[in-house]
Amino acid sequence: MMSDFALNTSSPSRAKRVGKLRGTLALAGALVLGSAVALPAQAQGTKIGFVNTERILRESAPAKTAQSKIESEFKKRDDELQRLSNNLRAQAEKFDKDAPVLSESDRVNRQRELSRLDTELQRKRREFQEDFNRRRNEEFSSIVTKANQAIKRIAEQENYDLIVQDAVTVNPRVDITDKVIQALK
């Protein structure tokens, strides 16, 4: 019934609208077909490259140096956190073992002390993580700047039209990550 209504061109204005609609659809189809044919021809002259930023920040010489530097800077604090964590764990195990024979007031006092130590440990861990991340970001921002400069140099030297970072899927022939890592040495 609906298709009969749509095709009913008995009134002159309805016939005119259907004719315009058909013309518009034909024009849209021609445009889509024309652009589908033109895109591959245009893409043939475009040189595209890909860079895996994560790999650069993991495998390049400056990134490895920065990571070692940061780890050595934070080693003492990390060791202290491990010591505090082990101490808290030992005290909690001792409390669990002693709890049945402790007086109510001793049990409450030791629970408060364990809770205070746990809160302090969590605060120190959070501060450590924030400081570590801030320091890491400082070091790695300069590496990203140097990597971007290397990418631009490679793009200019090898006439790339477009360099893409972090794509879902990439053909290995367009991956220039190794060239960037080499340029950062």
CATH number at residue 86: 3.30.910.20
Q: Residues 133, 149: one domain?
A: yes
* Statement to judge: residues 85 and 22 lie in one domain: no
Pair 18, 68 in one domain: no
pLDDT above 60 for 109: yes
Specify whether 72 is located in the same domain as 85: yes
Q: What is the mean pLDDT of residues 12-18?
A: 50
Q: Which phi and psi (to 5°) does residue 137 adopt?
A: -60, -40
Whole-model pTM over 0.75:
no
Are 61 and 177 within 8 A, CB to CB? no
pLDDT reading at 83 higher than 80: yes
Q: How many domains does the chain have?
A: 2
Q: Structural domain of residue 119, as residue ranges? A: 48-183
The pLDDT of residue 91 is above 60: yes
Give me the DSSP letters along the chain. -HHHHHH---SHHHHHHHHHHHHHHHHHHHHHHHHHHHHHHHHHT--EEEE-HHHHHHHSHHHHHHHHHHHHHHHHHHHHHHHHHHHHHHHHHHHHHHGGGS-HHHHHHHHHHHHHHHHHHHHHHHHHHHHHHHHHHHHHHHHHHHHHHHHHHHHHHTT-SEEEES-SS--GGGB-HHHHHHHT-
Q: pLDDT (tens digit, 9 = 90+) per residue, 138-183? A: 999 999 999 999 999 999 999 999 989 878 888 888 888 889 999 9
**pLDDT on residue 19:** 52
Whether residue 94 is found in the same domain as residue 14 = no
My answer on whether 88 and 16 are in the same domain is no
Statement to judge: residues 129 and 61 lie in one domain:
yes
